[in-house]
Amino acid sequence: MKLLNALIVAAAASVALGSVVHAGEETREENIASPKDIARLLDAGMPEPLSDNNVELVSAMLKPQLGKSWKKSLDLDLISEQLFDGKKPQIDGNCYGNRFDFSECKMTAGEAAGKGDYTKLAFVDSKAKTSLRFAKRTVADDVPKRVTMSNAEAYKKAINLVVETFGISEVEIPVAPTNAKQPYPVKTVNLATSTGKGVSSDIPVQKLVSIQRGLHVDKLGWIPGPGRLTLSFTANGLNAAAVRSWADMSEYGQNVDPRKAKSRTELIEELTTLLQKEGIGKLHSARSLLAVSLPTGAESPVPVLRVFASAQADDLTEKEQANVVSSAGVVFEIPLVASDDSLQGSDDS
């Protein structure tokens, strides 16, 4: 089975093991962590629900609350009508073929070259996942307009758009806790300006909304799901949007046997081996969380343990940084359920 043999490296980093010698430079060297030290850090950063018997845990993860499939609710006519302001776009590709077969579509209005108005919508659909990207360019102002909407207003606009226009189920959009310090996943992009006389100011010119797909699981609450939403608003309205790798969940769990759930000990051993094989000689910290992910080449998502590993401390001085090979971090995902080929190395995939 391909799907349980997949290892995803979401944030790649070249982390050397041992010492590296550069011509004309002194040898730079890291202290190598022992397997016991790596296992200890992995265990400390694991989510509490993981135990040495995870059959019930995986069974629960296989039964999240799911909304209507995006493949069945997505309407390209409605999307293009709303995003192109009623203009009839030029169409390139298979925009209206059988959506259960691979299709790729592009819609455009205006000229890509130059600085005039231009709008582009790109849509890619396969059996396993669907992606959509939108970008709109308007004639630029000499000075960008100040965006005045609040984070709450930007978030509300984003939710309305992805639900009412894109057709994504609101059931799969996570809700922040009532006591959350930052309830809205919104960032403000500022433009720094200067009068040339030592006086500068920041003008808010963009609201960026980024939403990780969420799956609500009984007794666990929200866990990350396979897909992500990003929307950008300026004073003129929506100027960019993306639905990234929104996986189809219609066959989720059909080929996953929760009785083969890996124990906490097995997960630690597997991760320790993987980290050493990938050349991470020194591990400063590692934290992990439960998630549902679509491995590369798989036809359906699977329950995984997502691990964020930091090879070095993030508060090193410049002098200390010069004496280590790398301080970059990596992200691994390993299936929570074993299969006949799930323990094969990445060289076999």
Beta carbons of 319 and 56 less than 8 angstroms apart: no
Top-confidence residue, 315 or 99 = 315
- What angle separates helix 35-44 from helix 264-277, to the nearest 10 degrees? 130
* Per-residue model confidence (pLDDT) at position 120: 96
Q: How far apart are CA 133 and CA 70, in angstroms?
A: 15
Beta carbons of 294 and 128 less than 8 angstroms apart: yes
Residue type, position 134, single letter: F
The model's pTM is 0.79
Q: How far apart are CA 230 and CA 111, in angstroms?
A: 24
Q: Is the pLDDT of residue 191 over 70?
A: yes
Residue type, position 95, single letter: C
* Per-residue model confidence (pLDDT) at position 287: 93
* Per-residue model confidence (pLDDT) at position 30: 47
Residue 3: pLDDT band with limits 50, 70, 90:
very low
Determine the length of the chain: 349
Top-confidence residue, 283 or 3 = 283
Please report where in the chains the tokens 């046997």 appear, as a residue: 257
Q: Where is average pLDDT lowest: 27-31, 54-58, 97-101, 294-298? A: 27-31
Q: How far apart are CA 155 and CA 182, in angstroms?
A: 12
Average pLDDT of the chain?
82
Residue 341: pLDDT band with limits 50, 70, 90:
low
Q: Is the pLDDT of residue 8 over 80?
A: no
Please report where in the chains the tokens 């001085």 appear, as a residue: 317
Beta carbons of 184 and 156 less than 8 angstroms apart: no
Choose among 233, 259, 258, 209: nearest CA to 62. 258
pLDDT tens-place string over residues 287-318? 999 999 999 888 899 999 999 987 755 555 66
* Per-residue model confidence (pLDDT) at position 7: 34
Q: How far apart are CA 334 and CA 267, in angstroms?
A: 8
Bridge partner residues of 8 (DSSP):
333
Helices (H), the chain: 35-44, 55-61, 70-73, 76-83, 151-160, 264-277, 318-321
Q: Is the pLDDT of residue 98 over 70?
A: no
% of the chain residues with pLDDT over 70: 77
Bridge partner residues of 129 (DSSP):
247
Top-confidence residue, 73 or 98 = 73
Which tokens belong to 305? Answer: 């343990």
Residue 323: pLDDT band with limits 50, 70, 90:
low
pLDDT tens-place string over residues 257-275? 999 999 999 999 999 998 8
Q: Where is average pLDDT lowest: 18-27, 162-171, 198-207, 225-234? A: 18-27
